Chain A
Amino acid sequence: MRAVWRAARAAVRRRRLQTFVITLVTLFSTATIVIALALLDASSAPFDRAFDAQRGPHVVAVYSSVTPAVATDAEAVAGPFPQVELDVPGDGGPVWVTGPITLVGRAEPGGPVDRLDLFAGRWATGRDEAVINLDPPPAGMADDFTREIIGRTITVPGRPVLTIVGTAWSLSHTADVWVSPATMASLRPTGSQVLYRFTGGDRPVPPEGLLATRSYLTQKAEVAAGPGTILPFLIVFGLLGLITAVLIVANVVSGAVVSGFRHIGVLKALGFTPPQVVLVYLIMVTVPAFVGAVLGTVAGSLAAKPLLYNAFLGLGLDPQVTSRPWVPLTGLVGVPLLVVLTAVVPASRAHRLSAAEAISAGAAPKAGRGLRAQRALAGTRLPRVLSLGLGLPFARPGRTGLTLAALLLGVTTVTFAGGLAASVIRYTEAVDQADAVQVQVRPNPAAVGSTTSQRTDPQVEALLRGLPGTVHVTADLSMPVSAAGHVEPLNVDFLRGDADTLGYQDQLVEGRWRSAPGEVVASSAALHHLGLAVGDTLSLSYDGRHEPVTIVGKTMEGGLGDGDLFADWSLFTALAPGHRVVNNEVMYWIRVSGDPGAYLSAVRAADPGLSAWAAGSGLSNSFTLSVLAISVVFAGMIGIVAALSVFNTVLLNVRERRRDLGMLKSIGMTPRQVVAMTVTSMAVLGVVAGVAGIPAGIGAHRLILPMAGAAAEIDLPARMFHVWNPGGLALVVLAGVAIAVLGALLPARRAARLPIAEVLHNE
């Protein structure tokens, strides 16, 4: 055993570059595998994992009695918590807590069931303090949230004014607002909330005094749309990363063993038994592979954390969820195991060969491979150096095939990632109307400590139109309106002013924008829910009045607050002639020329009762960030791993062809020609991978994007798919070539510096 260990150590020391390459390849491959598995893990039952992390309630029950009966078969119970439903007027609080809300009295955010994620501020422990239920912000934006929300008030006529002291998130949405039990007493609770957690899902709860129940499955279905949007991307990137990494490890390791056949033959000739020789080579490749696997697992776990955070945020779930232990374990154990398996196959071949056969098998590639190709290339008009390079891959078809596969996956990933990023950016720009709207203005609600505007809605619009820099102004009043034959009211955005300039036309999937008073445009989600299509009619009603409308167009998404319909202001006037518009109900969308920052200052100076802010670029949206981050990381990682595969292939090819290279140099091939020949041998693979990878990447894009849209109940217009132009595609082909050339360059330069006399003498 000592002899085996000594021989293995000597082999590792002698082949320092190969050892380094194996370590590097397994490091990057393991990191890619760990990140890929982390994302695949995140995509498997994300709701269940986030639900279990928060110890979510399988049943939320509301009782009329203060002390309801106990469910003896429950795994855990929280409550009873006193609760009340209130209707917050439009000017009674921040937009997230207006309308009908549920308030629950809880002494703490923790407990045996429904552990809340308090992500800003503090818990409501004092009198008339409140914590509101909100989704966590994207990473790095918690401070903005705190500034924007903490300190605002909630005012309901006849009730104490509540001051917001914190924001928390409940996946199960057990309340809109939490207050202390003492505060709840003054709000005159009408029921008790009890949270039940069962083993194996929801069960019947004690019926005495039961007013209502909600199963966690309802929440799961509602939440599923969000994760569904991003899940397909996670799965595709995860699978691409996994397959590429496995392929490359197999290529590198098997190549390392095959290139050592001669050495194996020499060891056998010295007296090493076949099992000992196999063991030497397994040790030789496994030791650096294990080092690479450890480093790669650490690197991958660290890199996966921010990706998982954003992915879960994009899923609308608890971003604190981490990947399960099997993920890093697979990196630590799985990759070295993969290395052993891929080494065993060629090593067992050497095991069977006699010493002489192994020595000759370890010489240059079998004469006879690729002869036809070389012959054909020799007759072309190409510079001889290039035609020689083009013929090199045919000498080792297996190794070339694996390298080509790695490059193909690299190009496919780059194409898919590029298309996905372009589509997501295009979608976000369309949804956020970045070109059409730079400023949003809304009058402050009437609340203690808040400056309110005395202007009416038309006066606010007139003021804004009169400010320097104003190009377009659109007033947007969003309110729920009933529709005949449908249980749930529809959220309608009534638009006045320059509505046609808002850019919603960019979102049109079907039909056209409305041009007459009785016409509406619907979001794709709304049409799915209503079971309607473009061209259908609808009867809207409000406060006893009815108005028929025709759906003339379908957009990707709706307006404010996930609106269902876009309509003209005249429809609002027809439906609710007596409705007194409180100025805070109206949002103003403004397109400005010049500096939006200066415009904001001008608005505030003109009327301190108006809140104005710059419309977001959309890229801060957590979904967009998640997708872009994942796209960039995976395209980069897989590109690097593919380049390393090329690096290793060229290294092995140069080693096997040392004698040939020495001969070529001896008859006058310059160092630059050696580099050109070597790089050409891989560049051609890059071109093939580039050309073949484009349709594969585009195909994946065309397949996955509609799946994501369908999961989010968003229909996507054709322009979301047509994100490539000839120039862009040419860049992708170049990317394939670039990956191949970069991978080949260093070993090619090494080949150019081969000492001729030494090589010819030794070989």
Chain B
Amino acid sequence: MTTVVRLDGVRKEYGETAALDGVSLRIEAGEAVAVMGPSGCGKSTMLNLIAGLDRPTAGLVEVHDEDLGKLNETGLALFRRRRIGMIFQFFNLLDDLPALDNVALAAQLMGVTARQARRRALELFDELGIADRRNAYPATLSGGERQRVAVARALMNRPALLLADEPTGALDSRSGEQVMDLLLDLNQIGQTLLLVTHDRQLAEKCATRVVEMADGRVVV
């Protein structure tokens, strides 16, 4: 089994507060890991460190054999492009671009032409069942549709690791169910998934392993 994520003794401090206090964790390829815990336990912080959105105060964060602590900002940006797909609670789509262009953007940053990027995006839209919404602007999409667009964007560059931070947090129950099913399907075809959630139902449905956190530490 290939280790996709490796955290060793990771510490993250904000001032005098330790958001993470010596966290160690391994995620193997093909796993779907759900991280759960009360608010402020450090789960989103850990997700940010794995995504290269933030830097640890101490410890090792290695993703796909890449030591993120050794990368500068440009290196981290390139790492995110190639290795990571992120899904946010509040979607984070660009309001000025239609859905298709929002998704194509992720590939175009890699230097892919607009035509090729749109073609790939359309494939994903078909798979996710939102092809008829490709020219709609985010403001006109439902929550569930927006999240599926966000999932498509996250999958554009075929990431080694899909990270989802409260993916159903802003959705109604029906849309949430649909997104849960989507993530489950992705994991079943081999996508490695790290999921931060309050939703016990989501965790039990989608995850092959649940990690519990409290006070900046992994407790289970």
The chain A residues found within 8 Å of chain B, CB to CB, are: 364, 367-371, 374-375, 378-381, 384-385, 391, 395, 659-660, 662-673, 752-753, 755-757, 760-761
Asked if A384 and B53 make an inter-chain contact with CB atoms under 8 angstroms apart, the answer reads: no
Q: Which of A368, A659, A668, A671 contacts B139 (CB 8 A)?
A: A368
Bound state CA distance, A760 and B106, in angstroms? 17
Check B73–A367 contact: CB distance below 8 A. no
Is B191 located at the chain interface by the 8 A CB criterion?
no
Q: Are A370 and B96 in contact (CB under 8 A)?
A: yes
* 27 A-B pairs whose Cβ atoms sit less than 8 Å apart in the complex: A364-B95, A367-B139, A369-B96, A370-B96, A371-B137, A375-B97, A378-B97, A378-B101, A378-B104, A379-B114, A381-B114, A664-B105, A666-B53, A666-B80, A667-B80, A668-B78, A668-B80, A670-B74, A670-B78, A671-B74, A671-B77, A672-B74, A756-B53, A757-B53, A757-B54, A760-B53, A760-B88
A369, closest chain B residue (CB): B96
B157: A residues at CB distance < 8 A: 668
The answer on a CB contact under 8 Å between B92 and A665 is: no
Expressed in whole angstroms, the minimum distance between the Cβ of B73 and any Cβ of chain A is: 5
Give Cα distance in the complex from A667 to B155, angstroms. Answer: 11
Cβ of B197 to closest chain A Cβ, rounded Å: 16
Contact A667 B74 (CB under 8 A): no
Q: In the complex, which of the residues B45, B77, B113, B114 contacts A668, with contact meaning CB atoms closer than 8 Å? A: B77
Q: B96 near A395 (CB under 8 angstroms)?
A: yes
Q: In B92-114, which residues have CB < 8 Å from any A CB?
A: 92-98, 101, 104-106, 108-110, 113-114
Q: Which residues of A have CB within 8 Å of B101?
A: 374-375, 378
Interface centre among A374, A381, A384 (most CB of B within 10 A): A384
Across the interface, name the chain B residue whose C-beta is closest to A382: B114
Instruction: Give bound CA distance, A663 to B51, whole Å.
Output: 12
Bound complex: CA A761 to CA B51 (Å): 14
A669 x B109 contact (CB < 8 A): yes
Q: Is B24 an interface residue (CB 8 A)?
A: no
Selected contact of B110 from candidates A379, A381, A668, A757, CB within 8 Å = A668
Decide if A667 touches B114 in the complex (CB within 8 Å): no
Provided the pairs A367-B96, A668-B81, A669-B77 are in contact, do residues A378 and B54 lie with their beta carbons within 8 angstroms? no
- B187: A residues at CB distance < 8 A: none
Q: Which residue of A lies closest to B95 (CB)?
A: A367
Q: Is there an interface contact between B44 and A761, defined as CB atoms closer than 8 Å?
A: yes
State the interface size on chain B (CB cutoff 8 A). 36
Closest to B101 in A: A378
Apart from A368-B137, A378-B97, list 12 A-B contacts with CB within 8 A. A368-B139, A374-B96, A375-B101, A384-B109, A395-B96, A659-B92, A668-B78, A668-B82, A668-B106, A672-B74, A752-B73, A753-B73
Chain B residues with CB below 8 A from A670, complex form: 73-74, 77-78
Do B96 and A371 have beta carbons less than 8 Å apart?
yes
- Shortest beta-carbon distance from B96 to chain A in Å: 5
**B54 engages A756 (CB within 8 Å):** yes
Residue B146 at the chain A interface, CB threshold 8 Å: no
9 nearest CB pairs, A to B: A668-B81, A384-B108, A367-B95, A670-B77, A663-B92, A757-B48, A757-B54, A757-B53, A756-B53
Tell me the nearest residue of chain B to A385, going by C-beta: B109
Q: Report whether over half of chain A's contact residues are helix, strand or loop; otherwise say mixed.
A: helix
B153 within 8 A of A: yes
List residues of chain A with CB within 8 A of the CB of B41. Answer: none
Contact A666 B114, CB 8 Å, known A371-B137, A395-B96? no
Q: Does B202 contact A (CB under 8 A)?
A: no
Contacts of A755 in B (CB 8 A): 54
Contact with A along B44-63 (1 / 0, CB 8 A): 11001001011000000000
A662 to B137, CA, bound (A): 20
Docked pose: A753 CA to B108 CA in angstroms: 22
Segment 21-67 of B: residues with Cβ below 8 Å from A: 44-45, 48, 51, 53-54
Residues of B near A663 (CB, < 8 A) are: 88, 92-94
Q: Give Cα A395–Cα B104 distance, bound, in whole angstroms.
A: 21
Interface membership of B213, Cβ < 8 A: no
A26–B174 Cα gap in the complex (Å)? 55
Cross-chain contact A367 with B137 (CB below 8 angstroms): yes
- Closest residue on chain A to residue B105 by CB atoms: A384
B118 shortest CB reach to chain A, Å: 9
Task: Kindly state the separation between the CA atoms of A369 and B77 in the bound complex, as whole angstroms.
Answer: 29
Q: Is the CB of B78 within 8 A of A378?
A: no
Give Cα A368–Cα B137 distance, bound, in whole angstroms. Answer: 9
Is B92 within 8 A of A666, CB to CB? yes
Does the CB pair A667–B153 fall under 8 Å? Answer: yes
Contact of B86 among A391, A660, A666 (CB under 8 A): A666
**Bound complex: CA of A374 vs CA of B138, how far in Å?**
14
- Out of B48, B93, B96, name the residue touching A391 (CB < 8 Å): B96
The answer to whether A375 touches B98 (Cβ under 8 A) is: yes
Q: Which residues of B contact A381 (CB under 8 A)?
A: 113-114
B residues in contact with A391, CB < 8 Å: 96
CB-CB under 8 A from A371, the residues of chain B are: 96, 137
Residue in chain A with minimal CB distance to B163: A666
B82 contact set on A, CB distance < 8 A: 668
Contacts of B153 on A, CB cut-off 8 Å? Answer: 667
A530 to B44 CA separation, bound complex (whole angstroms): 91
Minimum CB–CB distance from A761 to chain B (whole Å) comes to 7
- Report the nearest B residue to A394, measured CB to CB: B96
A557 vs B98: C-alpha distance when bound (angstroms): 67
Task: Give complex CA distance A350, B158 in Å.
Answer: 46
